[in-house]
Structure 1
Amino acid sequence: MCGIYGSTIAYTKHQVQDKLERTKFRGPDKLDFKFLGNEVNPVIFGHNRLAIVDIDERSNQPFTYNKTIHIVFNGEVYNFKVLKEQLETKGYSFHTTSDTEVMCAAYMAYGEDCVYHFDGMFAFVIYDETKQKLFGARDRLGKKPFYYFLKDKQFEFASQLSSIQMHHEHLTISNKAISYYLAWGAVPDPHSIFNEIKKLQPGHCFSLNLNNYDFKERVYWDIDTENKKPYQGDYKEAVSELDDLVKNAVSTRLFADVPVGIFLSGGVDSSVVAALATQTTSSKVKTFSVKFNEKGFDESLYAQQVADHLKTDHHIIECNYNEGLDLIDTFSHYYDEPFADSSAIPSMLLAKHTRKQVTVALSGDGGDESFIGYERYKWMKQVNHLYNLPNFIRNTVAKTAGLAPYYKLKMIGKGLEYDDINSLYIASVTGVNMSWLKSDFDYTDVPEKKYLFHSNKNLYERLTDFDIKTYLNWDINTKVDRATMAYSLEARAPLMDHSVVEFAQSLPTDFKYNGKIQKRILKDVLYQYVPENIFDRPKAGFTMPFAEWFKNELKDYVLSELDMVSLKQIPNIDADEVYKMIQQHMDGSWNRYPLIWKLLVLKQWLNTNGKGYTIK
């Protein structure tokens, strides 16, 4: 796990050093860069290394293989040992025990098709000196970030936007990206907060001819929206196969030359990972969870129950108010684009204290999307029945619910005004009542809608496909990458192994969501190792008590940061309406904390990163 950087722009050594120092937290073990290429085609590769596999300096990057293949790589290729054996039979030799060297040999053996052979999380660029081209890729599910700038004969890429931003002229802040952020809580791929900087999308690779700067991007992996290979076995067989798949995904992710632990929230997903980890290693597994003192936010008791049953070496990290407040002040340094998921703060606290004992941590990310786990899927199932009613009946229900004094009923009434269930789902994610957002374009019109607006699959399969391409990528992956890398901790997600995701997509819906049981098959894998009664409780999210803090400890902070003068300086919002909504939160009539947090983050980013830039 590292930070990568590269450019064909003729920066000085001092400027390159600055760019790498800005994201040194991603890889504090070794900072290095090389001026490759020549006067006609200059190429600079830089790297911040967090040593995980083959921690010897021989595997430092930028790495050169066979004198002409150079690479900078962030992530892990978990099947590199098997791939290495295959390449050795083809005559390739190796001088390290790293996956980095194997990737170079795989490129030489398979060319751009090497990406099909990589099982892992990665963002990399290879400079092929002989062919005078750059080839790069981002992993299938988008675990690792990749930003790039391309204009004329200038190409620059990095793990984080701030590295490109430094010493870069002519960048402008995207007004469109601000609207996207205010709606989705993150800037969706392929956009960034700057008009001139883009993100390479998950499952995409590219090549850049350095002689004529012809840039070609293509998709090498995507979701099967037609379900061409449905699962043929019965439920019992599926449970056994999923057990094997996840067990293998966990086992490969436990491999490292540094200490490894597991994030354990006490929920189904992280408990599956922890349980199968105890089945695949003889070492005592270290687990970590967060504890909050505020009532209704402390899930550490459930994590402790799971840890006690599995006999893990469990550590509870107590989150206190002052430490959380400190992270708010430095938030935009690590999340160098506006990012509104407030669970990023407890994620950072968890990473900060976990890093004191391990360098790698496994998480349960991806389980809800693949196995129909979110509460909103249950809600959509209930509301969908209303969309089967004649329009006049649905309109009557909508008007009646809209007049009710209860927030949830009002939102249901507002939601039923949408023409179809797909549009309602997007509104439920972005916000059913968005009258406060002033945008001159349709911020819900994203290319990923194609995974939702089709008839090849049922509603629930389409919802999860859409969330894999949007929420999992734009939000979860961003949150976890920045939170963990802020403290030089590598996060690995077994349930996001593409073989697990593809298997889940092939299953009949009732294997995953049967009656009232969500994540049915994943739970049945878990219950082989941990008693079911431990999980007999409502699903909990990973969040902080911001709603209460904003009315109490942080009230003065919120009111000073988001007074009317400040609100009028924030682009694309109706300041008067937002001000009323903030007052509603303070008097307890409405819970507006998501909006308050979203605006605080944007304001902080504009104050610290946006000065001197034109918004257009």
Structure 2
Amino acid sequence: MCGIVGYCGAGNQDNLKSLSKLLHHRGPDDEGFYFDELVGLAHRRLSIIDLSPLGHQPMSSEDDSLQIIFNGEIYNYQALKNELLATGRHQFKSHSDTEVILHLYEDLGTACFAKLNGMFALAIWDKNKQELILARDRVGEKPLYYAEINNVFYFSSELKVFPSIAGFTKKLNHQVFLKYLDQGYCPGPNTIFESVQKLGAGEFLVYKNNQIKIEKYWTLPTLADKSALTFSEAVSQLDNLIDEAVKIRLMSDVPLGVFLSGGLDSSLVAYYAQNNSSQKIKTFTISFGEKSFDESPHAAEVAKLLNTDHHVAQVSAAELLSTIDGLPSILDEPLADSSIIPTYWLSKKTRASVTVALGGDAGDELFFGYQTFKAWRYWQILRSQPAFIRQSLKSLVNILPSRSGYFSADFKFKRAILNFDADFYNQHFRWFSPFTLGELGELVKSPDTLDYHHSWPAEDYSKSLNQSAALYQKYYLTDDIFTKVDRASMAVSLETRAPLVDYRLIEFANSLPPDFKFHHGQGKYILKKLAEKYLPENIIYREKHGFPSPVDAWLRGPLKSRAEELFSGEKIIKQALLNPEFVQFLWQDFLSGNHYRARQIWPLFIWQLWAEKYL
């Protein structure tokens, strides 16, 4: 895993060297540069495959007409290398996957990206064509940002680089700001800064003659309504696909392990990893005091069953809290997903033993695991009830006592009831929003700019559970989950790999009908039936837990004074973005005992932290 940054145009070489230093955490093992009259490329290397100097980047073709900088891993690079050697046209000087991409581009041009199975963000300078090509992996595991500043094209692995470029203006993208408040993350292709864009998942970009051209080389497969496979046939194929996806992600020239929470997805990944290893695999989890949030006993049970070399790291409240003021530097865009904090500490503790870790991300998006899919059944029932019953239930939830536990019963009940009369699309996304649309209108200084229904692309995602799952895959997975995991892990120079987003597995999962994935109120049905072959039922069928932080207790205790400082009228008035009176109402209502407000206070707290650093 690495960091890349560069420019095309009249850029400054010394400035690029300074920008590269901002990405040191992504690649502490080596640094390299390439400059010519038009292009500057910088690479920070975290050595994983071919640790020798021959893997140094930027890497050139044999005639020096091509230069590449690459962040990621290509899991099928050996097979691709054999194909290239068989043509008799190529010689290799290294054992790296980077060189395979370079030779593949020589043969196929931009068509080469569709042959790569892996996670990547890369840049290729084609000197003969005078083209700079950027490309990003199919699901956006690895980030890639770009902008034109003073007629120079810049790109980088992280957004934090751009404010250090001469001429950059920190103009806020107000629609992205609204989307952040609504969903807790910044969905692409835009960023929180108006002038910077994200290259989309499965896209490549060609920059030539001051023109940008973007094309898709892979599109998220449409989710199917029917399948020719029987359920048992589908389980068997799923078994083979996950096994292969995990196996190819075990390749590494450095120590490797598995994140293990004790939940279904990470436990399955750990099972397949151990099954494909001749030695005990290392598994990692963290433990901290708040029992409602601690999964370490479940992880220990799975580790014992699989006979792994299990590591449990105790993380104190003081350690968790010490991370918070540094979150804007780690994230560089606001992200209200509080699991970034334990994810960072899990990565930090894991990095003490290994350089690569596999995780279980994407099971919920592919196999209908979120609470919204379960709530959908009740929404259908509620919609059929008379209006006075629906209204009575809405009134009831507003007087229910609130609790602070993760996904407490009152929280789930309120989200289900408050959203049942929304359109199908909004039912799912309002669940993740901390605010009602009415509250957002009060919170934002200029509510007339908030048009939630038109703030997302115009595709029709409202027809079925399949289409709602497609939204999770297209936006939430890429712009929340993978952003969180990439920043948390790369902040400590740890590479993470997600076997469940192997593109073959995604294509297979999306070819299955909904009732294979959500059956009689049970999400991830086919995954659970597969897991019954290998894991105990108490692990498979225990309620989804997630990986949150006890923000309610923090905001009432050790973070209270910091929150009051950030929520001061002076700071909010200066930004001219939020209504200070409504912010104070939310804060005081939270302090008076309304635990439900913690889910609204936290994104505001994170926003204020981010704004303090970047605006």
Contact 2:288–2:317 (CA<8 Å) still a contact in 1?
no
Deviation at residue 103 of structure 1 after TM alignment: 0.2
State the partner residue of 1:244.
Answer: 240
- Residues 1:116 and 1:595: Cα distance change in structure 2 (over 3 Å): same
Q: Deviations over 1:273-295 (max 9, x none)?
A: 00000111112100001112113
State the partner residue of 1:550.
Answer: 555
- Once residues 447 and 516 of structure 1 are traced to their aligned partners in structure 2, the CA distance between those partners, rounded to angstroms, is 28
The partner residue of 1:515 within 482, 507, 520 is 520
Deviation at residue 32 of structure 1 after TM alignment: 1.8
- Residues 1:374 and 1:127: Cα distance change in structure 2 (over 3 Å): same
Partner AA of 2:32 in structure 1: D
State the partner residue of 2:450.
Answer: 441
Q: 2:425 matched to 1:422?
A: yes
Q: Deviations over 1:568-590 (max 9, x none)?
A: 34443222122111112212123
Q: Deviations over 1:371-413 (max 9, x none)?
A: 11111210123213333x38xx2x3333212221226565555
Contact 2:415–2:431 (CA<8 Å) still a contact in 1?
no
State the partner residue of 2:406.
Answer: none
SS in 1 for 2:17: helix
* TM-score, normalization by structure 2: 0.93
State the partner residue of 1:267.
Answer: 263
Q: Deviations over 1:494-536 (max 9, x none)?
A: 0011111111111122221111322122122222222223334
State the partner residue of 1:217.
Answer: 214
- Once residues 320 and 226 of structure 1 are traced to their aligned partners in structure 2, the CA distance between those partners, rounded to angstroms, is 43
Unpaired stretches in structure 1, ≥5 consecutive residues: 611-616
Q: 2:316 matched to 1:334?
A: no
Partner AA of 2:511 in structure 1: S
State the partner residue of 2:195.
Answer: 196
Q: Deviations over 1:143-193 (max 9, x none)?
A: 000100136742100000112221331422223322222112121101112
Describe how 1:406-555 pairs up with structure 2 within 5 A. Answer: 406=400, 411-418=415-422, 420-431=423-434, 433-434=436-437, 435=439, 436-438=442-444, 439=447, 440-448=449-457, 450=459, 452-453=461-462, 455=463, 459-555=464-560
Aligned CA RMSD, in angstroms, stands at: 1.9
SS in 2 for 1:591: helix
Contact 2:224–2:513 (CA<8 Å) still a contact in 1?
no
Contact 2:145–2:158 (CA<8 Å) still a contact in 1?
yes
Describe how 1:114-513 pairs up with structure 2 within 5 A. Answer: 114-150=112-148, 153-171=151-169, 172-209=171-208, 212-225=209-222, 227=224, 231-387=227-383, 389=384, 393=386, 395-404=387-396, 405-406=399-400, 411-418=415-422, 420-431=423-434, 433-434=436-437, 435=439, 436-438=442-444, 439=447, 440-448=449-457, 450=459, 452-453=461-462, 455=463, 459-513=464-518
- Once residues 15 and 55 of structure 1 are traced to their aligned partners in structure 2, the CA distance between those partners, rounded to angstroms, is 28
Contact 1:402–1:412 (CA<8 Å) still a contact in 2?
no
- Residues 1:534 and 1:226: Cα distance change in structure 2 (over 3 Å): closer
State the partner residue of 2:8.
Answer: 8
Contact 1:399–1:413 (CA<8 Å) still a contact in 2?
no
- Once residues 208 and 602 of structure 1 are traced to their aligned partners in structure 2, the CA distance between those partners, rounded to angstroms, is 33
SS in 1 for 2:257: strand
SS in 1 for 2:291: coil
SS in 1 for 2:311: strand
Q: Deviations over 1:38-93 (max 9, x none)?
A: 2xxx1000011100011111111111112211111111111000011111112222
- Once residues 432 and 604 of structure 1 are traced to their aligned partners in structure 2, the CA distance between those partners, rounded to angstroms, is 19
- Once residues 46 and 280 of structure 2 are traced to their aligned partners in structure 1, the CA distance between those partners, rounded to angstroms, is 24
- Once residues 96 and 443 of structure 1 are traced to their aligned partners in structure 2, the CA distance between those partners, rounded to angstroms, is 51
- Once residues 26 and 422 of structure 1 are traced to their aligned partners in structure 2, the CA distance between those partners, rounded to angstroms, is 37
Q: Deviations over 1:81-122 (max 9, x none)?
A: 001111111222211110000001111111111011000111
Describe how 1:79-98 pairs up with structure 2 within 5 A. Answer: 79-91=76-88, 92-98=90-96
Contact 2:149–2:168 (CA<8 Å) still a contact in 1?
no
How high is the sequence identity, in percent, across the aligned residues? 36
- Residues 1:213 and 1:13: Cα distance change in structure 2 (over 3 Å): closer
State the partner residue of 1:614.
Answer: none
265-274 vs 289-298, which moves further: 289-298
Deviation at residue 133 of structure 1 after TM alignment: 0.7
- Once residues 571 and 231 of structure 1 are traced to their aligned partners in structure 2, the CA distance between those partners, rounded to angstroms, is 53
- Once residues 332 and 163 of structure 2 are traced to their aligned partners in structure 1, the CA distance between those partners, rounded to angstroms, is 10
Contact 2:202–2:219 (CA<8 Å) still a contact in 1?
yes
Q: 2:34 matched to 1:34?
A: yes
Deviation at residue 449 of structure 1 after TM alignment: 5.4
- Once residues 493 and 452 of structure 2 are traced to their aligned partners in structure 1, the CA distance between those partners, rounded to angstroms, is 34
Q: Deviations over 1:575-611 (max 9, x none)?
A: 212211111221212322232221222212222122x
SS in 2 for 1:534: helix
Residues matched between the structures, number: 594
- Once residues 292 and 468 of structure 1 are traced to their aligned partners in structure 2, the CA distance between those partners, rounded to angstroms, is 30
Q: Deviations over 1:180-211 (max 9, x none)?
A: 221121211011121111111111111122xx
100-109 vs 316-325, which moves further: 316-325
Contact 1:152–1:213 (CA<8 Å) still a contact in 2?
no
Q: Deviations over 1:388-443 (max 9, x none)?
A: x38xx2x333321222122656555542443x222222322234524243241324
- Once residues 317 and 574 of structure 2 are traced to their aligned partners in structure 1, the CA distance between those partners, rounded to angstroms, is 29
- Once residues 359 and 343 of structure 2 are traced to their aligned partners in structure 1, the CA distance between those partners, rounded to angstroms, is 11
Q: 2:17 matched to 1:17?
A: yes
- Once residues 273 and 410 of structure 1 are traced to their aligned partners in structure 2, the CA distance between those partners, rounded to angstroms, is 34
- Once residues 8 and 268 of structure 1 are traced to their aligned partners in structure 2, the CA distance between those partners, rounded to angstroms, is 46
- Once residues 363 and 500 of structure 1 are traced to their aligned partners in structure 2, the CA distance between those partners, rounded to angstroms, is 15
Deviation at residue 560 of structure 1 after TM alignment: 2.8
- Once residues 426 and 134 of structure 1 are traced to their aligned partners in structure 2, the CA distance between those partners, rounded to angstroms, is 37
Unpaired stretches in structure 2, ≥5 consecutive residues: 401-409
Contact 2:140–2:202 (CA<8 Å) still a contact in 1?
yes
SS in 2 for 1:329: helix
- Once residues 371 and 18 of structure 1 are traced to their aligned partners in structure 2, the CA distance between those partners, rounded to angstroms, is 44
State the partner residue of 1:103.
Answer: 101
- Once residues 377 and 284 of structure 2 are traced to their aligned partners in structure 1, the CA distance between those partners, rounded to angstroms, is 34
- Once residues 393 and 571 of structure 2 are traced to their aligned partners in structure 1, the CA distance between those partners, rounded to angstroms, is 35
Contact 2:183–2:429 (CA<8 Å) still a contact in 1?
no
Q: Which runs of 4+ in 1 moved over 6 A?
A: none
The partner residue of 2:55 within 47, 55, 59 is 59
SS in 2 for 1:72: strand
308-317 vs 568-577, which moves further: 568-577
- Once residues 452 and 511 of structure 2 are traced to their aligned partners in structure 1, the CA distance between those partners, rounded to angstroms, is 31
SS in 2 for 1:7: strand
Describe how 1:540-579 pairs up with structure 2 within 5 A. Answer: 540-579=545-584
State the partner residue of 1:78.
Answer: 75
- Once residues 233 and 311 of structure 1 are traced to their aligned partners in structure 2, the CA distance between those partners, rounded to angstroms, is 34
SS in 2 for 1:450: coil
Deviation at residue 328 of structure 1 after TM alignment: 0.5
- Once residues 214 and 560 of structure 1 are traced to their aligned partners in structure 2, the CA distance between those partners, rounded to angstroms, is 45
- Once residues 222 and 119 of structure 1 are traced to their aligned partners in structure 2, the CA distance between those partners, rounded to angstroms, is 14
- Once residues 609 and 114 of structure 2 are traced to their aligned partners in structure 1, the CA distance between those partners, rounded to angstroms, is 41
State the partner residue of 1:613.
Answer: none
- Once residues 318 and 522 of structure 1 are traced to their aligned partners in structure 2, the CA distance between those partners, rounded to angstroms, is 31
234-243 vs 566-575, which moves further: 566-575
Partner AA of 2:419 in structure 1: G
State the partner residue of 1:606.
Answer: 611
